[in-house]
Structure 1
Amino acid sequence: MYAIVEIAGQQFKVAQDQKVYVHRLKGEEGSKVTFDTIFLLDNNGTISIGAPAIKGAEVTAKILGHLKGDKVIVFKKKRRKGYIKKNGHRQALTEIQIESITASGAKKTAPKKAETKAEAPKAEAPKAAAVTKDVSSMTVAELKALAKEQGISGYTSLKKAELIEALTK
């Protein structure tokens, strides 16, 4: 039985009683930690894949110790420029031992696709059948109200001739 689990921002393939070095975790030596972000679970040939994670499944581990990784030397040089820079780094790590992998929620079914309901087309706002008044003799307020009824927005950006043509059609 193994699982692919996210621990401290990285994904690891873990099995029971396996020791893993991960980025530094909060917790004392000897304490137990649980990880619930499990992406894949293999239980004796039965593979469960999460979408994105398997609900209910978890991995329990014991913190064995905190330590530093090997020294990494970062050396930068630009030739003929007199530029040399040397830095070192040791990553803070935690050694954990996987104690158990539980698959209580492993039998997750794929989410059902929502049936697309046939929506009735929205009824359009009824337009005024005909303009009874002479548009050229209307006031600006009346033209704005008539334009709003017809669904024309932004009267100020329209020229009066274009508005008259739109309203008389």
Structure 2
Amino acid sequence: MFAVVTIAGQQFRVQANDELFVHRLSGNAGDSVEFSDVLMTSDNGNITVGKAVNSIVVKAEIIDHSKGDKVLIFKKKRRKGYQKLNGHRQSLTKIKIQSIA
């Protein structure tokens, strides 16, 4: 069984025992979180979409908070002597899907 769920503004296809990185969630490591914004479920080929998925909840556990890889942003205007280098590291949360019920 899998589900398509919205977590922190992004859509993910999740199954039980999946581990994934999402944008930073509030809570500490070991806390349990629930996601009720389920868009679709599939159970052995039986696809459920629409109002029927309103009662389905995806339960997950926060494993760790971390930062992603650094992304470098380099700006330059030729022949003007202008160069600018910026970096950014996204704050992420690693979660493990416990169940889809």
Matched residue, 1:23: 23
Matched residue, 1:48: 48
User: In the TM superposition, what is the alpha-carbon distance from 1:81 to its structure 2 partner?
Assistant: 1.1
Give structure 2 stretches of 5+ with no counterpart.
Answer: none
User: In the TM superposition, what is the alpha-carbon distance from 1:54 to its structure 2 partner?
Assistant: 2.0
In structure 2, the residue corresponding to 1:55 is in which secondary structure? helix
TM-score by length of 2: 0.96
Matched residue, 1:66: 65
In structure 1, the residue corresponding to 2:29 is in which secondary structure? coil
User: In the TM superposition, what is the alpha-carbon distance from 1:60 to its structure 2 partner?
Assistant: 0.2
Residues 3-152 of structure 1 aligned to structure 2 (within 5 Å): 3-50=3-50, 54-102=53-101
Q: Which structure shows the bigger proportion of residues in strand conformation?
A: 2
> For 1:128-161, what per-residue CA distance to the aligned partner results, in whole angstroms no more than 9, with x for missing partners?
xxxxxxxxxxxxxxxxxxxxxxxxxxxxxxxxxx
**Structure with more relative contact order (C-alpha pairs < 8 Å, separation 6 or more):** 2
TM-score by length of 1: 0.58
How far apart, CA to CA, are the structure 2 residues paired with 1:3 and 1:12? 8
> For 1:32-58, what per-residue CA distance to the aligned partner results, in whole angstroms no more than 9, with x for missing partners?
00000000100111100125x821101
Q: How many residues align?
A: 101
For the aligned residue pairs, the C-alpha RMSD in angstroms reads 1.1
- Letter of the 1:41 counterpart: T
- Letter of the 2:78 counterpart: R
- Letter of the 2:41 counterpart: L
- Greater Rg over alpha carbons, structure: 1
Q: Percent identity?
A: 52
